Amino acid sequence: MIETPEPDLREQAQRAGSLSMTGSVATRVLGVVAIAAVGVMALLALWISPADAVQGDAVRLMYVHVPSIWVAYGGFVLTAFASARVLWRTRSGVGGTYGVIADRQARRWDRVAGAAAELGVLFTALTLVTGSLWGKVTWGTYWQWDARLTTTVLLFVTYLGYLALRRLPAESRARARRSAVMALIAVVNLPIVHYSVDWWRTLHQEASLNLEPGGDRNITGEMYWTLLYSWATFTVVALWIGIHRYRVLRLEELAEEASLEELLAQRRDEQAAGR
């Protein structure tokens, strides 16, 4: 069927076209700041800060390792908070104007949960990689069944599953609710995992590892400031990526909504064709 598209459809297509960018002035500024900050951080971490007396240059891994787990935990906490909001918003069937508003807010929080979990998984992976590299240098082995590492890898796999669950095609509200429940279970389970693994290792290890990456050793001077600075840098970078991911998820939903009108029109054409 060759037909000129209806004006409102064309308008929507144009609107969708103009929305195909996820950048805005604010995020561009944020992006420039983030990139510049990473550059400065490389300078600080690789040249200006001193090597460690015991660990040598390996200590420089700390400036990536410690901030990434901080960002990862922040992402998971945000996922849990947003998921609680999703469930709170859809706790009962609500109709009318209030229902529409609640639905919109639930969708917004669902996107926040999704974007934050992606960040969390990404930075957990970064933590694990830098951690095992650091382990190879200081302990001579990539992996130790250390409590913190074990907990982190379980956390990683749990949220990998969460993202897999989100990817399955389903009605958007049902999916939002289902993944929100899973995110909350994961958070409730986290202290249990941590506690049991901790107990398991402390009971079975003769000597606990004091060389633990980012452990409780006192860090002072330039190393301290560099760590603090990398922590701030990672937060900015994560915010930047997170905002873009949020907007991509929003665009996906908008594209779905826009295609809905088209699908409805097509569906109605079936009726005309059938007659």
Partner 1 sequence: MGAAVAFEGVVALLDRFPALAGADLSVQAGEMVCLRGPNGAGKSTLLRACAGLVPVRGERAEVLGFDLKAQRRSVRPHVGLLGHRSPLYGDLRVDDQLRHCADVHRAGVPEVSAAIERFALGGRLGEVAIRRLSEGQQRRVALACLTIARPRLWLLDEPHAGLDTVSRDALDELLADAVEAGATVMFATHETDRSRVAAARQVMLAGGRVEPTAPVSQTNGPTDVA
Partner 2 sequence: MWREIWLVCRKDMIIEWRARVTLVQIVPTVLLVLVVFAFALDANPSLLGAGAGGLFWVAVLFGAVLGAKRSFDIEAEGGNLDALRLGGLVPAAILWGKAAALALQLVLVGVFAAAGLLVLYSVTVHDWLLIVVAGLCGMAAFAICGTLYGAMTVGLRSADTLLPLLLIPVAAPVLLAGTRAFDVALGTSADQGWSWTALLAVVLVTYVAVGWAAAGPLLEDA
Residues between 145 and 174 with contacts to partner 2, criterion CB under 8 A: 154, 157-158, 160-161, 164-165, 168-170, 173-174
Report the Cα 55 to chain-centroid distance in Å. 31
Q: Which stretch binds partner 1 (CB under 8 A): 66-74, 78-86, 106-114, 164-172?
A: 164-172
In angstroms, the CA 218 to CA 208 distance is 18
Cβ 98 to partner 2, closest distance in Å? 18
Q: Which residue has the tokens 């650091």?
A: 134
Q: Binding mask 102-141 vs partner 2 (x if CB under 8 A, - otherwise)?
A: ----------------------------------------
Q: Which of 126, 215, 256, 258 binds partner 1 (CB under 8 A)?
A: 256
Report whether 146 contacts 212 (CB < 8 A): yes
Distance separating alpha carbons of residues 145 and 130, to the nearest angstrom: 16
Length of the chain: 275
Separation of alpha carbons 30 and 241, rounded Å: 10
- Who contacts 121 (Cβ-Cβ below 8 Å, separation ≥6)? 72, 75, 156, 159, 160, 163
Chain residues 191-250 in contact with partner 1, contact rule CB under 8 A = none
**Min separation Cβ 106 and partner 2, Å:** 11
Extract the tokens encoding 271.
Answer: 């009726």
Which spans of this chain sit near partner 2 (rule: CB under 8 A)? Answer: 87, 90-91, 154, 157-158, 160-161, 164-165, 168-170, 173-174, 177-178, 180-182, 184-186, 188-189, 192-193, 195-197, 199-200, 203
Which spans of this chain sit near partner 1 (rule: CB under 8 A)? Answer: 93-96, 99, 169-171, 173-174, 256, 259-260, 263-264, 267-275
